[in-house]
Amino acid sequence: MPISLSVRAPGGSLETPLLVIALAPGESMPASIASIDAGLGGAIGRSLSRRDFRGGRDEVLHLSGGEKGVLRVLLVGLGKGDDRATSLRRAATLAARRANGMGVGSLTFHAESLGAREVEAVAVGLDMGAWIFLETKTLPPEDERREPLREATILAGGADAKQGLDAGLAFAEGYAIARRLSMMPGNLCTPDYLADTGREIAARHGMKATVLGRAEMEAEGMGSFLCVAQGTPQEPRLIALEYRKGGDAAPIVLVGKGLCFDTGGISIKPAQGMEWMKFDMCGGAGVLGAMETIARLGLNVNVVGLVGATTNMPSGTAVKPGDVVRASNGKYIEIINTDAEGRLVLADVLVYAQRFKPSAVIDAATLTGACVIALGHTATGVMGSDEALVRDVIAAGKRAGEPGWELPLWEDYKSLIKSEVADIKNSGGRPAGTITAALFLQEFAEGYPWVHLDIAGTAYSESDLGTIPAGPTGVPVGMFVELVRGRAS
Active-site residue, from 269, 391, 398, 414:
269
Among Mn ion, Zn ion, ligand BES, none, residue 59 binds (CB under 5-8 Å by kind): none
When asked if residue 342 is in the footprint of Zn ion (CB under 5 A), the reply is yes
In contact, 30 and 112? CB cutoff 8 Å: yes
Closest approach of Cβ 151 to ligand BES, in Å?
A: 36
Distance CA 293, CA 186 (A): 24
Per-position DSSP letters for 317-342, written without gaps between them: TS--TT-EEE-TTS-EEE-S-TT--H
Cα end-to-end span (Å), the chain? 30
Distance CA 225, CA 421 (A): 20
In contact, 281 and 258? CB cutoff 8 Å: yes
Select the residue interacting with Mn ion from 37, 166, 262, 334 (CB under 5 A). Answer: 262
Residue (16 or 224) nearer to Mn ion, CB: 224
Q: Which stretch binds Zn ion (CB under 5 A): 8-16, 259-267, 286-294, 394-402?
A: 259-267
Q: Which of 27, 25, 117, 183 is nearest to 482 (CA)?
A: 117
Each as own residue / partner, the long-range contacts of residues 427-431 (CB below 8 Å, 24 or more positions apart, any chain) are 427/336, 427/337, 427/340, 430/370
In contact, 74 and 99? CB cutoff 8 Å: yes
Q: Which stretch binds Mn ion (CB under 5 A): 36-44, 72-80, 261-269, 313-321?
A: 261-269
- Binding string, residues 292-331; x marks residues near Mn ion by CB under 5 A: ----------------------------------------
Closest approach of Cβ 77 to ligand BES, in Å?
A: 32
Residue (5 or 455) nearer to ligand BES, CB: 455
- Could you count the other beta carbons within 10 Å of the beta carbon of residue 464? 11
Residue (310 or 368) nearer to ligand BES, CB: 368
Distance CA 23, CA 26 (A): 8
Q: What are phi and psi of 51, to 5 degrees?
A: 60, 30
Distance CA 214, CA 421 (A): 27
Residue (108 or 312) nearer to ligand BES, CB: 312
Residue (12 or 270) nearer to ligand BES, CB: 270
When asked if residue 258 is in the footprint of Zn ion (CB under 5 A), the reply is no
Phi-psi region of 416 (alpha: psi -120 to 50; beta: other; left: phi over 0): alpha
β pairing state of 332-334 and 424-425: parallel
Distance CA 162, CA 170 (A): 12
Active-site residue, from 84, 90, 245, 343:
343
β pairing state of 302-312 and 237-244: antiparallel
Residue 208 annotated to the active site:
no
Residue 343 annotated to the active site:
yes
Among Zn ion, Mn ion, ligand BES, none, residue 369 binds (CB under 5-8 Å by kind): ligand BES
DSSP 3-state of 255: strand
Closest approach of Cβ 273 to ligand BES, in Å?
A: 9
164: Cα within 13 Å, side-chain hemisphere = 24
When asked if residue 251 is in the footprint of Zn ion (CB under 5 A), the reply is no
Closest approach of Cβ 404 to Zn ion, in Å?
A: 20
When asked if residue 454 is in the footprint of Mn ion (CB under 5 A), the reply is no
When asked if residue 280 is in the footprint of Zn ion (CB under 5 A), the reply is yes
Distance CA 59, CA 54 (A): 8
In contact, 161 and 154? CB cutoff 8 Å: yes
When asked if residue 454 is in the footprint of Zn ion (CB under 5 A), the reply is no
Closest approach of Cβ 93 to ligand BES, in Å?
A: 23
Among Mn ion, Zn ion, ligand BES, none, residue 370 binds (CB under 5-8 Å by kind): ligand BES
Residue (262 or 443) nearer to Mn ion, CB: 262
Strand 332-334's sheet: what is its strand order? 324-326, 332-334, 424-425
Q: Which stretch binds Zn ion (CB under 5 A): 51-59, 87-95, 342-350, 411-419?
A: 342-350
Among ligand BES, Mn ion, Zn ion, none, residue 111 binds (CB under 5-8 Å by kind): none
Among Zn ion, Mn ion, ligand BES, none, residue 308 binds (CB under 5-8 Å by kind): none
Distance CA 238, CA 241 (A): 10
DSSP H helical ranges for 269-361: 282-297, 342-353
Residue (37 or 341) nearer to Mn ion, CB: 341
Closest approach of Cβ 270 to ligand BES, in Å?
A: 11
Residue (329 or 426) nearer to Zn ion, CB: 426
When asked if residue 339 is in the footprint of Mn ion (CB under 5 A), the reply is yes
Supply the DSSP symbol for 351: H
Among Mn ion, ligand BES, Zn ion, none, residue 467 binds (CB under 5-8 Å by kind): none
Among ligand BES, Mn ion, Zn ion, none, residue 372 binds (CB under 5-8 Å by kind): ligand BES
Radius of gyration of the chain from its Cα atoms, rounded to whole angstroms? 24
For binding to ligand BES (CB under 6 A), which residues are involved? 262, 280, 337, 339-342, 366-370, 372, 427, 433, 456
Residue (127 or 280) nearer to Zn ion, CB: 280
Residues that bind Mn ion (CB under 5 A): 262, 339, 341
Residues forming contacts to Zn ion in the complex (CB under 5 A) are: 259, 262, 280, 342
Instruction: Cite the active site residues.
Output: 269, 343
